[in-house]
Chain A
C-alpha cells in the first residue's frame, strides 16, 4: 500500500482493496520504524489519525465519501492545526497548540484526508537544508549523510521515504521545490495567492505560498484541487477562479514552447546536474515541445533582492512572538524589556535572529530607500524579465538547484553559501509565478530536479508538462533502497 500514488490510493479505498484504517496503520508503522533515522516528523498524530480513518471507512461504506476520504497525508508544521502542537520548527512555539485550523487544514479535513502528523522544517521556514530546526535536522532518505533540503525538508523526506503518500509544504524562496529536487519527489509552488495563507505561520507575506509535495504530478494536481481557492479571510488570496487541475494532464506537448534561460545554465550549475537537465529537456523535445533560448537578465539580482524583502517582512511578521499571549516566555522577567529581549533571544534560533536583524536593518531609518525600496523596484525588473519571456514561450525550464543534495554541516556555517542554493528558485517567488520541481534523474545516486516555471495561474499547464514527462520517465517512481524495507 505504501508505494501507491494518491490517485491509486483513492481508487483502492473506493474499490475496498484496503481500508483507510489499514492504510493509515501502514504509514504510522512505517513512520514508527523508519523515521528515527530521518527525523522528518515533529509530531505524529496516531490516535486522531486512526479515529479519523475509522470514520472515513464508515463514509466510504455509506457512499458519502468526499474526494480525499481516507487518504493519509502529512502537513508541514507551519500550518496551524487545532489541538495539535504547531511548532514551526521553533523553540518559540514548542508549546503552542493552536485553538484554530489553517484554511488549508480545514479544506483537507473537509475533503476527508487523514492527518498523519506534522513534518519537520527549518525554523519559521528559514533555511535550505533543514538544519535550522529546533527539533534537529532532517536526513535525506537517499543517503542519511545528506540534507533533504529546506525548508519543507520533513515533508520531502517523509514522502520520499514513503512515510506518507503526499504532504503539504510552503515555499517562500524555494522551500517546496528545492527539497523536492533533493529528495526525488514532485513539488509545486502555486501562483502567489492561489492557496490561502490564513493559519499558515507567516515568514514573508508577499512571497509565502503553500503547495503540494508528492511522487507524481497527477497527485500534486489532486492535492492542488483540494488546496486552491479564494479565501475571504486572506486579503492576498486571489479571487481568480480555480479549475480542475487534473483536467489537462493528458494533453500532448505538441507545439509547447519551452524557454531555457541562459542564466540558469551558466557557470554556477554543476556539470553532471546540467547533463541530467539537458536529457530531460531533450525528452520533452522528443515529446513535441520546442526549446527556445530566452534570457532573464536580472537573474544575478534575485539573491540580494530576496535577502532584503524576505528578511524585512519576516522581521516584523515575527514581532508577535513576544512571550505575552502564547508560545515561549522567559522565566522570571525582571521588567518588560527583559521579557521581550530574553524571550526572543531564547526562543529564536541563530538563522531566524540573523534574518530578523538584517530585515530590521533594511527597514530602519536612513536605509529604507537604499534597501527595501530598492529591492522592491528590482523585484519589478525581475518580474518584467519573466513577462517578456512569456511573450515568447509557454513554460520556462531549468534546474531546480545548482547541484544535488549536500552533506549535513557542509554549509551550515556559511549563510551566504547556503543562500546560493536557492539561486534558481527565488525569482519565481519574487515574481509570484507558479513553479514545480520534477524528478529528472540522479547524480551519484542523488536525485536531481527539473524546474518548470509558468505564467500566473497557469498551474494546469505545468502539471500537464510534468505529467507527460512522467509518462515516459520513471525517476519519480524510484525509491530509496534503505526505505523500501521497514514495516510494509
Chain B
C-alpha cells in the first residue's frame, strides 16, 4: 500500500532573555552546574514566580510574525508530574488560554514551491533542568541551571507530509525567530528543540492514523532521519496488519532508531489547573500595536521582495532571505556592484561554500560585502574574467587585500589593449599553419568549433588574462 505521512511539530524555542521566565537567574548557556539556579528555580519552600516582561514581549512578537491571534488575556497553568529535573513537581505552562492563538506560516520547498502550514497555538512555559547520566555510582546527577529558562512552545497543525517539508518548516521557523531576535536559534545548545508527531494513512484517505510522538530532536538532520526511520517502522507494522500504539518515543541519534520511552509508559494525568501563584496576563491593544510597528521585514516578505526587486528565482531568494545577516550582506553586495544576479551567485556559491568549508559564520567572513562588491565590479568592467575572479577571491579570503590590490599585486589585470592582443593573435596564427589551413577549408559550422583552438592558444600565451571577447573578434577578422 502507498502510505501518506502526516506530521505535526511542536517546537520548543528558548527565548533570548537574559534572565529566567519566573526568576532573576541568568540564562547563560554552559555555566557550572546549579550556579544559575536560584531559590525560585530550586523550588525552595515559599518561593514564588514573577513573570519576565521580555518573555511576554517576545511571545507577542512571534504571534505578530505569523499573523496569529494574540491572546489578550492568557493564563498560566500548572502541568503536574514528578521528575527530578522538574523541581516544583509541576511545570508552569499555558493550557487553555495560550498567549498566541491560531496563525499560518508559509514555507518553501526545495523546488521553489510554497505551502501554508497551520499554527495551532504558541504558549509560554518554563524549561526543565537536565539529568546527567554519567555514572555517579549508578546515580543520576541533576543540573537545574536550565530550569526556568523561558520557552515558547509552537504547535503546528498536522499539515506536513514529508521529512523534507518538516525540515523546510523548521528552517523557516528558525529563520523567522532569528529575524525577530526572540531566540538565538542555537540548535546545538538546545535553543530550538522539536517533538515530532507522526502517523501514516493510506494515500487518498482523510482519517488520521494513530500517532507516535518522538521527543526532543535537536537538529534538522536528526528530524529528517527520525521521520524516515519512524515512517519505515510504522509502515512495517501496518503492512503486517498490526496496530500503531500511541506512545512517546525517543530518537537515538547514535543508533539511528526510535525507541519507546519507558519513563513515559505510565499514562500521565497532568492535572492542569490555573497557576494560583500567577495572575492572568492582560495585554493592551496599544502594546500590541507598538510591537507591530517595530516588526522587521520578515523572511517571507523579504523573499518575495527579492524575487520582485532583483528578479531572483524563488530558490535563490529563499536561501538569501533565510537569515537577516545573509540578506543584509547580499543587499550590501548588490548596492556596491549594482548587479543582483551576479551578486546572488557569488554570495550563494563562493561565499557560502567557503564559509562552510572553513566552518565560519557569516559574521566571521574574511571577505566583507564591500570587498566582494569590489571584486564583482572588476568582473563587470572587464578588468578580470570570471575565472580569474575565483583566484582573486581565494586570495582575498587568505587576507591578501582588496580585489584591486590582489589584481595589481599578482598582475591579473585583463589584457584589453588591442595592439598587445593583436600581436599575440598574430603570433598564434603564425605558429599554427596546419590549423589555419584546416580552418580555411572548413565550412561555417565547423569553423565555429575550430576557432576555439586559437582562442585557447591566445589565452595560454596571455596567462589567462586576455580579454576573451576581443580575442574572438580579432581572430574572426584575421582568419577571414
Q: Which A residues fall within an 8 A CB radius of B?
A: 79-80, 86, 88, 93, 96, 98-100, 102, 197-202, 204-206, 232-236, 312-313, 315-316, 319-320, 322, 324-326, 336, 340, 360, 363-365, 368, 372
- Contact partner of A324 (CB less than 8 A), chosen from B80, B87, B271, B273, is B87
The CA of A232 and the CA of B42, in the complex, are separated in Å by: 19
> Number of contact residues on B: which range applies?
20 to 34
- The answer to whether B273 and A372 touch across the interface, beta carbons within 8 angstroms, is yes
Comparing B44-52, B202-210, B282-290, the segment that makes contact with chain A is B44-52
Min distance, Cβ A97 to any Cβ of chain B, angstroms:
11
Q: Which residues of A contact B272 (CB under 8 A)?
A: 363, 368
- The answer to whether B45 and A98 touch across the interface, beta carbons within 8 angstroms, is yes
- The answer to whether B46 and A235 touch across the interface, beta carbons within 8 angstroms, is no
- The answer to whether A326 and B44 touch across the interface, beta carbons within 8 angstroms, is yes
A197-B46, A234-B50, A235-B277 known, 4 other contacts, Cβ within 8 Å: A80-B46, A236-B277, A320-B88, A324-B142
Tell which of B39, B89, B272 has the most Cβ of chain A within 10 Å.
B89
- The answer to whether B279 and A201 touch across the interface, beta carbons within 8 angstroms, is no
- Contact partner of B45 (CB less than 8 A), chosen from A88, A364, A372, is A88
Binding site secondary structure of chain B: loop
Min distance, Cβ A139 to any Cβ of chain B, angstroms:
27
- Given the known interface contacts A205-B277, A236-B277, the answer about A325 and B87 at a Cβ–Cβ threshold of 8 Å is yes
The answer to the question of B278 belonging to the interface, with a C-beta cut-off of 8 Å to chain A, is yes
Q: Which B residues fall within an 8 A CB radius of A?
A: 39, 42-51, 78, 80, 82, 84, 87-90, 142, 269, 271-273, 276-279
The 3 closest A-B pairs by CB, nearest first: A319-B89, A205-B276, A363-B271
Nearest-CB residue, chain A, relative to B275 = A205
- Contact partner of B48 (CB less than 8 A), chosen from A79, A235, A322, is A235
- The answer to whether A363 and B279 touch across the interface, beta carbons within 8 angstroms, is no
- The answer to whether B276 and A313 touch across the interface, beta carbons within 8 angstroms, is yes
- The answer to whether B269 and A364 touch across the interface, beta carbons within 8 angstroms, is yes
- Given the known interface contacts A319-B89, A364-B269, the answer about A234 and B48 at a Cβ–Cβ threshold of 8 Å is yes
The CA of A80 and the CA of B47, in the complex, are separated in Å by: 10
- The answer to whether A198 and B87 touch across the interface, beta carbons within 8 angstroms, is no
- The answer to whether B88 and A236 touch across the interface, beta carbons within 8 angstroms, is no
The CA of A202 and the CA of B44, in the complex, are separated in Å by: 11
Q: Which residues of A contact B46 (CB under 8 A)?
A: 79-80, 98, 102, 197-202
Min distance, Cβ B253 to any Cβ of chain A, angstroms:
25
- The answer to whether B45 and A96 touch across the interface, beta carbons within 8 angstroms, is yes
- The answer to whether B47 and A316 touch across the interface, beta carbons within 8 angstroms, is no
The CA of A100 and the CA of B51, in the complex, are separated in Å by: 21
- The answer to whether A201 and B45 touch across the interface, beta carbons within 8 angstroms, is yes
Q: Which residues of B contact A340 (CB under 8 A)?
A: 82
- Contact partner of A99 (CB less than 8 A), chosen from B39, B51, B84, is B39
Q: Which residues of A contact B49 (CB under 8 A)?
A: 235
Min distance, Cβ B198 to any Cβ of chain A, angstroms:
25
- Given the known interface contacts A88-B45, A322-B82, A325-B42, the answer about A235 and B271 at a Cβ–Cβ threshold of 8 Å is no
Q: Which residues of B contact A102 (CB under 8 A)?
A: 46
Q: Which residues of B contact A316 (CB under 8 A)?
A: 78, 80, 89-90, 271, 273
The CA of A324 and the CA of B273, in the complex, are separated in Å by: 25
- The answer to whether A312 and B273 touch across the interface, beta carbons within 8 angstroms, is yes
The CA of A365 and the CA of B268, in the complex, are separated in Å by: 10
The CA of A201 and the CA of B51, in the complex, are separated in Å by: 20
- Given the known interface contacts A80-B46, A96-B45, A198-B46, the answer about A319 and B273 at a Cβ–Cβ threshold of 8 Å is no
Q: Which residues of A contact B142 (CB under 8 A)?
A: 324
Q: Which residues of B contact A80 (CB under 8 A)?
A: 44-46
Q: Which residues of A contact B84 (CB under 8 A)?
A: 322, 324, 336
Q: Which residues of B contact A234 (CB under 8 A)?
A: 48, 50
Q: Which residues of B contact A206 (CB under 8 A)?
A: 276
The CA of A204 and the CA of B276, in the complex, are separated in Å by: 8
The CA of A313 and the CA of B47, in the complex, are separated in Å by: 15
- Contact partner of B80 (CB less than 8 A), chosen from A99, A232, A319, is A319
Q: Which residues of A contact B39 (CB under 8 A)?
A: 99-100
Nearest-CB residue, chain B, relative to A206 = B276
Min distance, Cβ A100 to any Cβ of chain B, angstroms:
6
Min distance, Cβ A284 to any Cβ of chain B, angstroms:
36
- The answer to whether A363 and B276 touch across the interface, beta carbons within 8 angstroms, is no
**22 A-B pairs (CB sep. < 8 Å):** A93-B45, A98-B45, A99-B39, A198-B46, A198-B47, A198-B48, A201-B46, A202-B45, A204-B276, A232-B50, A233-B48, A236-B276, A236-B278, A236-B279, A315-B271, A316-B271, A324-B142, A325-B44, A326-B44, A336-B84, A363-B271, A372-B273
Nearest-CB residue, chain B, relative to A101 = B46
Min distance, Cβ B413 to any Cβ of chain A, angstroms:
69
Q: Which residues of B contact A363 (CB under 8 A)?
A: 80, 271-273
- The answer to whether B44 and A319 touch across the interface, beta carbons within 8 angstroms, is no
Q: Which residues of A contact B269 (CB under 8 A)?
A: 364-365
- The answer to whether B279 and A325 touch across the interface, beta carbons within 8 angstroms, is no
The CA of A294 and the CA of B229, in the complex, are separated in Å by: 71
Q: Which residues of B contact A319 (CB under 8 A)?
A: 80, 82, 88-90
The CA of A318 and the CA of B48, in the complex, are separated in Å by: 13
Q: Which residues of B contact A198 (CB under 8 A)?
A: 46-48
Q: Which residues of A contact B44 (CB under 8 A)?
A: 80, 98-100, 325-326
Q: Which residues of A contact B80 (CB under 8 A)?
A: 316, 319, 363
Min distance, Cβ A123 to any Cβ of chain B, angstroms:
13
Nearest-CB residue, chain A, relative to B90 = A316
The CA of A326 and the CA of B45, in the complex, are separated in Å by: 9
Nearest-CB residue, chain A, relative to B267 = A365
Min distance, Cβ B397 to any Cβ of chain A, angstroms:
52
The CA of A80 and the CA of B48, in the complex, are separated in Å by: 13
Nearest-CB residue, chain A, relative to B46 = A199
Q: Which residues of A contact B43 (CB under 8 A)?
A: 320, 325
Q: Which residues of B contact A235 (CB under 8 A)?
A: 48-51, 277-279
The CA of A234 and the CA of B40, in the complex, are separated in Å by: 11
Min distance, Cβ B44 to any Cβ of chain A, angstroms:
7
The CA of A365 and the CA of B269, in the complex, are separated in Å by: 6
The CA of A320 and the CA of B39, in the complex, are separated in Å by: 12
- Contact partner of A233 (CB less than 8 A), chosen from B50, B78, B88, B271, is B50
Nearest-CB residue, chain B, relative to A201 = B45
Q: Which residues of B contact A322 (CB under 8 A)?
A: 82, 84, 89
The CA of A324 and the CA of B131, in the complex, are separated in Å by: 13
